[in-house]
Amino acid sequence: MMRKYRVKINGMTCTGCEQHIDAALTSIGATNIQTSFQRGESVFEIPEDVNAENLGQAIKQANYQIEDIEEISVQKLKNIEIDNKSDYDLLIIGSGGAAFSAAIKSIEYGAKVGMIERGTVGGTCVNIGCVPSKTILRAGEINHFAKTNPFTGLQTSAKEVDLASLVNQKDELVNELRNQKYIDLIDEYGIDLINGEAKFVDENTVEVNGKKLSAKRFLIATGASPSIPTISGLDEVDYLTSTTLLELKKVPKRLTVIGSGYIGLELGQLFHNLGAEVTLIQRSERLLKEYDTEISEAVEKAFIEQGINVVKGATYERVEQVGDVKKVYVKVNGKEKVVESEHLLVATGRKPNTDALNLSAAGVEVGKQKEILINDYARTNNEYIYAAGDVTLGPQFVYVAAYVGGIVADNAIGGLNKRINLSVVPAVTFTNPGIATVGLTEEKAVDEGYAVKTSVLPLDAVPRALVNRETTGVFKIVADAKTLKVLGVHIVAENAGDVIYAATLAVKFGLTVENLKDPLAPYLTMAEGLRLTALTFDKDVSKLSCCAG
User: Is 14 labeled as catalytic in the residue annotation?
Assistant: yes
| Of 2, 5, 17, 526, catalytic | 17
| End-to-end Cα spacing for the chain | 54
- Per DSSP, the three-state class of 93 is strand
Cis peptide before 458 (omega within 30 of 0): no
b/e 97-113 (16+ beta carbons within 10 angstroms → b): bbbbbbbbbbbebebbb
| Of 14, 262, 399, 501, catalytic | 14
User: Cβ–Cβ contacts within 10 Å for residue 502, how many?
Assistant: 17
User: Is 64 labeled as catalytic in the residue annotation?
Assistant: yes
DSSP state of 235: G
User: Is 329 labeled as catalytic in the residue annotation?
Assistant: no
How far, CA to CA in Å, does 135 sit from each of 123, 139, 173, 176? 17, 7, 9, 13
Query: Which residues contact residue 167 at a Cβ distance below 8 angstroms, ignoring those fewer than 6 apart?
Result: 136, 246, 247, 248, 249
- Report which residue type is found at 472: T
| Of 125, 182, 329, 377, catalytic | 125
Q: What torsion, rounded to 10 degrees, do the Cα atoms 295, 300, 306, 312 define? A: 160
User: Is 547 labeled as catalytic in the residue annotation?
Assistant: yes
| Of 2, 5, 12, 115, catalytic | 12
CA 201/CA 511 separation, integer angstroms: 50
User: Is 2 labeled as catalytic in the residue annotation?
Assistant: no
CA 521/CA 14 separation, integer angstroms: 26
| Of 64, 88, 182, 329, catalytic | 64
Catalytically active residues, by annotation: 12, 14, 17, 64, 125, 130, 546-547
